[in-house]
Structure 1
Amino acid sequence: MIDDHPLRYPLVNELHARPFPSLEVPCHAVYVAVKQPVDAHNRDRAADRAHLLALLDRYGAAHPPEGATHHGARIGRHDLKWESHTEFVTYSAFGRGVSARPFDPAEAEVFPTDWTAAAPGKRIAACLIRVEPLPDDLAEVRACLDDWFVAESLACSWVLDEAAVIAGDFQIDPAGLMRFAVFVRPGTGTRRVGRIVQRLCEIETYRAMSMLGLGRARELTGRLNALDPELSELVAALTNKGRGAEATLDQLLGISAELETLAVRHSFRFGATGAYEALVNQRVQVLRETRFNGRQTFGEFMMRRYDPAMRTVKSAERRLAQMAARTARAGELLRTRVDVERSAQNQKLLESMDRRADLALRLQHTVEGLSVVAISYYAVSLATYLFMPLAESLHWPKSALTAGLVPLVVLAVWMMIRRIRKGMH
């Protein structure tokens, strides 16, 4: 029998790890997403698990297995669904029925205040979703929307082939919750209702997470605005021959290093922003919206209010990349200029060395001539002493002997030195 890959079953189980809730109408959902104030790779998952266990212990619910990334339990009158994501954790509580007072903050007390305050992070999203049957008279829906939401920012639409009407104004109420309403057509399946509620929670969470990049983009833009004139001035100085190229290169390398630091610091958040934006748009698309009573749809709301923020983030990311590329090109040009200047200096140095070598050669020739004279002088003296007995026997005077030896000795010394020089070359 063939062996299975060790990850085969875990990867298949991951496909079924987060099923949609099954919700009976009417009902309500309380949703909270908590993010630790650190990057994903520094996140303390043990603290997130301890916070979950503290909530489960309050209601006497069972604990999840070690290392679990999702868990479901019954807490009081609500069904709890906990999920651990890359950067945040989510708590969803689903309860039957709705309060007489629409969006009553008391419904959110399923998550106690002191427990929420002890969370190992900050609340990034919080929703209260009210799910009711769709009345036969749609005028009642319009009246509810006018009473519950801010008309200027209200988004409302039919979803999933007019199985339900969803509405929300993306405003945070005094209790710190964002309100959404779902009016479900009779006969709609419980799992479809659960999918609608889950999509609304995901849209709000991923929208909030993606917009974290907007703050980073504004911070980055301020720094780029300060660096841009410096970079432009250095690029303009490339044609200024009176300014030292090496000093300009040092300044350019400083700007380049800062741009690389900014890129490293912001790359994760900008990458995450792009991923979350794609999830928001995908979640809106799967709702298959159609217009309700002339209201703007969720997709239109995102296009008008959300997309500009995402374009700002992309613009800052693109500008950072362009400035880094400009700096790299300027650095290449400046290094080329430095190399050319150094080549010119080297050429001048070689010419100077050639002149010095020529002078040294001339001096050598002069020294060789003097050497011939000096050596000849001593050689004539020695030869005179050597041939003096012979000269006396022949009755030659010493002066005649010396005069006769001088040409011969000088010629011999000159030929000897010339032969040595040829042998060296």
Structure 2
Amino acid sequence: MPNDFLPDHPSRYALVNELHARPFPVLRVPCLAAYIAIKEPESAHNRDRAADRAHLLALLDRHGSAHPQPGATHFSGEIGRAGLKWESHTEFVTYSAFTPGLTPRAFDPAEAEVFPADWLAAAPGRRLVSVLIRVEPMPPSHAEALAKLDDWFVAESLALSEVVDGAAIIAGDFRIDAGGHMRFAVFVRDGVGERRVGRIVQRLCEVETYRAMSMLGLSRARELSGRLNALDPRLSALVAALDTRDRSPEALLEDLLDISAELEALSARFTFRFGATAAYEAIVSQRVSVMREERIDGRQTFGEFMMRRYDPAMRTVKSTEERLKAMTERAARAAELLRTRVDVERSAQNQRLLESMDRRADLQLRLQHTVEGLSVVAISYYAVSLAAYAAYPLGKAAGLSKEMLTAALVLPVIGGVWLMIRRIRRAMH
């Protein structure tokens, strides 16, 4: 069907282009790579992207380089002899500079001067990652490569391996040197393509970046643990008090509301960082696995280094997150128990109230019967007097005294009054 009759979805091209948004660099051996990641110290989702773009343009303008398109989240260009790659991510922004050739001194701090000091000082954020990568041809033997690496890195924490089916050897000790940089070395075999070299270097940068980003969760987990350590005894004491009568439900409910409110506030504050940590940890594991490491002379690989030094930190973050969830659920269960206790006590109060109302109704009925009896007497008294006055002429004619006539009328009048009141009461009920 022609396109005139079937328009494209407005996001179709943008979504396809996103697949190719961040291409790997193309690197010729030998070369140097300087890499930095800049992040705001506090909020992860309030980055000023306009400030990030202005900071990039300031670097490009120093070298008269072309500018990226408005709204771009990635850019590749030239700054002097170096190739520049810029990427804007959700929480941070990265700069990579690739310079051909090597310096006589390995990992010379001057390699990072491709990013000027005054320009770095004006960055809209703080330096989270700074990496220097030295890419050079593979030495003739592993022994020569290991000799260089032992001279460059701290042996105790050195991690190295052959990667990508023996295409290269990567190495690093994950320590920050005196110049403030993390250092990695890459030895590349002859015949390895420039794009493959770029992918290896890019993955090293990503491993370090996402490792650093995920480790932010560890500091937040330690902060949260202190808060939970203070709340846990209070919550435990409150739960223990639910089956006693020492405190009123109202006082328990007030304390429970305070604890629940604080737990909800902590959850809102830390949930984003813990979720981001889990996502970054997954990326680190994926980036390490795709390099397909092979051990060299019994040395620890990057994967083993992460398992020993990095995974415990991630488990700490996960356990703290689970502890927060568990305490929140405990508070919710305590609220349910307290609500049940209040309902039971309220039902007992209602039962006692109904019993009291029954007793009052019974007393009222008895009082009503008593009043009815008194009413019969009172009405009968006046009725007998009236009947005596009405029948007096007849009684006089019959030779009856007033007293005898009155006495004769008492019982019939009382009976009639009683019958009349009884009929009225039946009609009303």
Partner residue, 2:97: 93
Deviates more, 1:95-104 or 1:52-61: 52-61
Deviates more, 1:251-260 or 1:95-104: 251-260
Change beyond 3 A, Cα 1:416–1:54 = farther
Partner residue, 2:36: 32
Q: 225, 231, 243: which is aligned to 1:227?
A: 231
1:171 Cα deviation (Å)?
A: 0.6
Counterpart Cα distance in 2 of 1:312 and 1:139: 38
Paired letter, 1:196? I
1:284 Cα deviation (Å)?
A: 0.2
Partner residue, 1:287: 291
Counterpart Cα distance in 1 of 2:258 and 2:325: 16
Partner residue, 1:324: 328
CA displacement 1:234-257 (0-9 Å, x = unmatched) = 222222234333322332232222
Paired letter, 1:278? A
- Give secondary structure in 2 for the equivalent of 1:211: helix
Please state if 1:193 is matched with 2:188.
no
Equivalent positions of 1:5-404 (< 5 A) are 5-391=9-395, 396-404=400-408
Please state if 1:418 is matched with 2:417.
no
Paired letter, 1:414? W
CA displacement 1:132-153 (0-9 Å, x = unmatched) = 0112133331221122111111
- Give secondary structure in 2 for the equivalent of 1:167: strand
1:348 Cα deviation (Å)?
A: 1.4
TM-score, normalised with respect to structure 1? 0.95
Counterpart Cα distance in 2 of 1:392 and 1:37: 121
TM-score, normalised with respect to structure 2? 0.95
Identity of aligned residues (%): 73
Counterpart Cα distance in 2 of 1:400 and 1:55: 133
- Give secondary structure in 2 for the equivalent of 1:196: helix
Change beyond 3 A, Cα 1:393–1:62 = farther
1:421 Cα deviation (Å)?
A: 1.6
1:395 Cα deviation (Å)?
A: 5.5
Counterpart Cα distance in 2 of 1:403 and 1:42: 106
Show structure 2 runs of 5+ residues with no match: none
- Give secondary structure in 2 for the equivalent of 1:345: helix
Deviates more, 1:49-58 or 1:300-309: 49-58
